[in-house]
Structure 1
């Protein structure tokens, strides 16, 4: 580096800064136009009960289920969830980081004051002058001491007091836009942090809705299993009566008793899943285990999907999905970093100045004669950096390429996720409808077998087989019914809607209840 401080260049440096203040090296960010299909593919293979339609996507899509309990849980999760609060805290951190970066473009002003008692070593540099080892009269007579000691006849090696105070300022002129590019990158990263928060909100909403639907599905399966258990007990009573009358064997009674126990064995697992799902919802709402027991323990119907499911327009996908918006912001930041790296190749100008008062006597410290000042520009130009600047520029270029590829992959992945969700949505409805028909036939066959067994026209084995088949089909139908609602939730998560309905103020709340005490304790 070569540094020049000619005082007369101060005005010239300021003029150059004014002329070039709007100059910014490096590429300007161009908002990408992602490739998107003209319309979502139609995967409906028959007259499904619910069909996707190209209507505007409702930001509060969960209201389509018509379940006030679900809507209430989602509202509470959006306001209380700890993951959302962590994401909001990280967003706030990114904004403070942006402020730190932008501060580099402003002048830095400081004040200083000192009072020192100083003394020079007689065996140090002063010994070369011969001053300090002679009495004042001898020093004066010898003509040694052209400074204070020589003039006043005082020994300059004697301790003295030095008082001073003043101000200093330094300002690096952002001629080539290096600082502005860094601020641009910091703004983009702050936007990326905001989109991460939006993604967390969307994930929490989707997870809350999914766990709720799974809970209602398990509860419906549990209710059906309990009803089936009652049927098996009635079958056991029937075989016992027939055995007492000599119309049934002990084998049939044992088979009936075994079926009762086999059905009863399903209940503990279902009850365990019910408790775990309630706990999962409690965790999403930042509540302790079992906090939602009273609210959710009573079984409710599985939330049904409406006949029309609005999926929005394909052109709105990049505007709505948080991960696409985040990838775009990171591409913006990577582009701005190239400009900052290019600016390092150019000379930099720093204006600095200081003004203060200095005196050996405290009484004269405030007089105008005690003033001292310095002002002038500093020009710094890179000459040899060992390839560091070129390496940094190539690195930033490679990072921009990576960011661009990541953006393309994010858009393509979103497209695939939506298409897969549309496929599943239609497939699960067709599966549910087929199982509904199978369930009717299974019930009819079971009722006929029971009637034939009572009439002595068939064995209990027929009843047992059809009873087990009925339970399996009924369980599968309930699961398929819940899967239809779950695939609708996954579809809306893939479409990226929902985070818009959550107020920023509510999502940013990160100090409530015991959290405040925890923060106070750790901050002292």
Structure 2
């Protein structure tokens, strides 16, 4: 029964909107069966350890501990916990104590004085307790509390999402840095090769084999290698500073710790988990679901506002003209009784509040569906990217082996007098080129693995978060 003259709405529960998760999960399962190198073992929470690089593991641990974005996310959780405490307090009985002292006198021209009241000053002492409790008959306070709880859970999921992003960005930046360092080593080999071509060109010019342009080309090649080295050095420093920023450190603070090392190995087997559990492993999905439930709870609270509010209030106090009289039982004063608030006319405030809550709930439902679809797309794209990157790396490694064999054959021919130095230099250039392509393929495959674990939720579990 509804008593509000401004309009009433039925309080109905709201379920999660339908998503194509079962169909996409089946497709995801099929993709896993088509690809090699994946297992259905749960993705590890510390997935970056699969690269077998202790420096990478240390950097990620430091980033999670010191990153300012994560600290901000942690403070947002603390704020949502405090808000949850406020809504919980509103659902509990309220009890307070008070004491006051008053010295007063009435006017000589007061009607009370005309009736015989004296005008001499007098004291009033009072000490007592006051209690109140709103009876939540329609579930308004419970819905508000549920909404705060869901907002808190969304904050926890947001924190885990930020944690996964920080870990992935740290790993990504580190792998790029190691790749650039390896490119610098290849650049040093290319510079050595370019310098070796200059005297060869000079000798061939003296012997009349080639013209002057050959020397200009050789020197231009050396200049080009030097220019590439400058660009690589700048990128190396920028990546090192990006890593320092992720750890909330100053520029170049990590240079000594990082040192120079080759790129880590590529994991051979990737635990991708069970596809049907993807919805439980993505923090962004958990956050979107929690916000949808919070919006539904706020709709329920807005609907309950149309119904009367009933409060129980009571108080007990001691009142006296002197302090010594406060101990007397005759000084007691008390009150107890219910109060009812009935909304009659509010200018449409309740209806507008309900319409706003319902619109926010519909928006949250759309956001939830978008998040689920994006999660499946990112997971599927990441699987394809890892498979393609692995295949490319395999082909580049095969090409490098062939070029290495070709270089060895040319060197044997040079030692036997069947090949000249220019043939050796040409073979070395080919090996350097394919080595650079192989390095790019390796780094691309490593980055694809990082994106895969980001798409899979980084080993996070909604059940673990709830516990």
Same fold, TM-score > 0.5, yes or no: yes
Q: When the two structures are aligned, how many residues end up with a matched partner?
A: 451
User: Deviations 1:223-252 (Å, cap 9, x if unpaired)?
Assistant: 111111111111112223444556554332
CA–CA separation in structure 1 for the residues paired with 2:265 and 2:173: 12
What residue in structure 2 maps to residue 257 of structure 1?
219
Alpha-carbon deviation of 1:264?
Answer: 1.3
Q: Distance in 2 between matches of 1:325 and 1:32?
A: 14
Are the counterparts in 1 of residues 16 and 365 from structure 2 also a CA contact under 8 Å?
A: no
| 1:356-395 matched pairs, under 5 angstroms | 356-395=317-356
Q: What displacement does 1:31 show?
A: 6.0
Call closer, same or farther: CA 1:77–1:339 in 2, change over 3 Å.
same
Whether the aligned pair in 2 keeps the contact of 1:356 and 1:373 (CA below 8 Å) is: yes
Where in structure 1 are there 5+ consecutive unaligned residues?
A: 3-24, 133-143, 505-524
What secondary structure is seen at the aligned counterpart in 2 of 1:213? Answer: helix
Distance across 2 between alignment mates of 1:435 and 1:98: 56
- Kindly indicate whether residue 444 of structure 2 is the aligned counterpart of residue 487 of structure 1: no
Match of 1:136 in 2: none
* C-alpha contact (below 8 Å) 1:217/1:479 kept by paired residues: yes
Aligned to 1:88: 74
Match of 2:169 in 1: 207
1:70 aligned onto 2:56 = yes
Between the aligned partners of 1:242 and 1:119, the Cα distance in structure 2 is: 121
Map 1:316-465 onto structure 2 (within 5 A).
316-439=277-400, 444=406
1:273-352 to 2 correspondence within 5 Å? 273-306=235-268, 308-352=269-313
The within-5 A match list for 1:128-143 is 129=111
Question: 1:276–1:364: structure 2 CA closer, same or farther, 3 Å change rule?
Answer: same
- Kindly state the Cα deviation for residue 63 of structure 1 after the two structures are TM-superposed: 2.4
Contact residue 125 and residue 323 of structure 2 kept, 8 A = yes
Q: 1:101 is paired with a residue of what secondary structure?
A: helix
Task: Spell out, residue by residue over 1:180-238, the C-alpha distance to the aligned partner (whole angstroms, 9 max, x if none).
Answer: 11111111111000000110111111111111111111111111111111111111122
Q: Is the 8 A contact 1:27 1:338 kept in 2?
A: no
Deviation at 1:32, TM superposition (A): 6.5
How far apart are 1:348 and its partner, in Å? 1.4
Equivalent-residue separation in structure 1 for 2:152 and 2:332 (angstroms): 46
Change (3 A) 1:359 1:56: closer
The answer for the alignment partner of 1:109 in structure 2 is: 95
The DSSP-based 3-state class of the residue aligned with 2:28 is coil
| C-alpha distance in 2 between matches for 1:459 and 1:56 | 55
1:81 to partner: Cα distance: 2.3
Cα distance in 2 for residues equivalent to 1:457 and 1:67: 43
Normalising by structure 1, we get a TM-score of 0.77
Q: 2: CA distance between counterparts of 1:45 and 1:175?
A: 54
Residue 149 (structure 2) pairs with residue 187 (structure 1):
yes
Cross-structure match for 1:508: none
Work out whether 1:38 is the aligned partner of 2:26: yes
Give the Cα–Cα distance (whole angstroms) in 2 for the partners of residues 348 and 100 of structure 1. Answer: 19
| 1:237 paired to 2:223 | no
Shift of 1:479: 1.2
Partner in structure 2 of residue 26 of structure 1: 11
SS of the residue corresponding to residue 378 of structure 1 reads strand
- More deviation, 181-190/56-65: 56-65
C-alpha change, 1:497 and 1:45, in structure 2 (3 Å) is closer
Q: 1:173 aligns with which of 135, 158, 161?
A: 135
Structure showing greater radius of gyration is: 1
Give 1:482 shift. Answer: 0.5
Q: Is the 8 A contact 1:217 1:482 kept in 2?
A: yes
Distance in 1 of aligned mates of 2:58 and 2:126 = 67
Verify the 8 A CA contact 1:302 1:482 in the aligned structure 2: no
Q: TM-score, normalised by structure 2?
A: 0.86
CA contact (8 A) 1:32 1:328 kept: no
**C-alpha separation between the residues in 1 aligned to 2:218 and 2:401?**
23
Once the 2 structures are TM-superposed, how far is the Cα of residue 478 of structure 1 from its aligned partner? 1.3
Task: Quote the Cα distance in structure 1 between the aligned partners of 2:143 and 2:32.
Answer: 49
Unaligned stretches of 5+ residues in structure 2? 4-9
Shift of the 222–291 alpha-carbon distance from structure 1 to 2, 3 Å rule, reads: same
Q: Alignment partner for residue 221 of structure 1, among 183, 192, 195? A: 183
Cα deviations across residues 51-86 of structure 1 (Å, max 9, x unaligned)? 334343333322222222222222222223222222
State the alpha-carbon separation in 1 of the partners of residues 33 and 291 from structure 2.
40
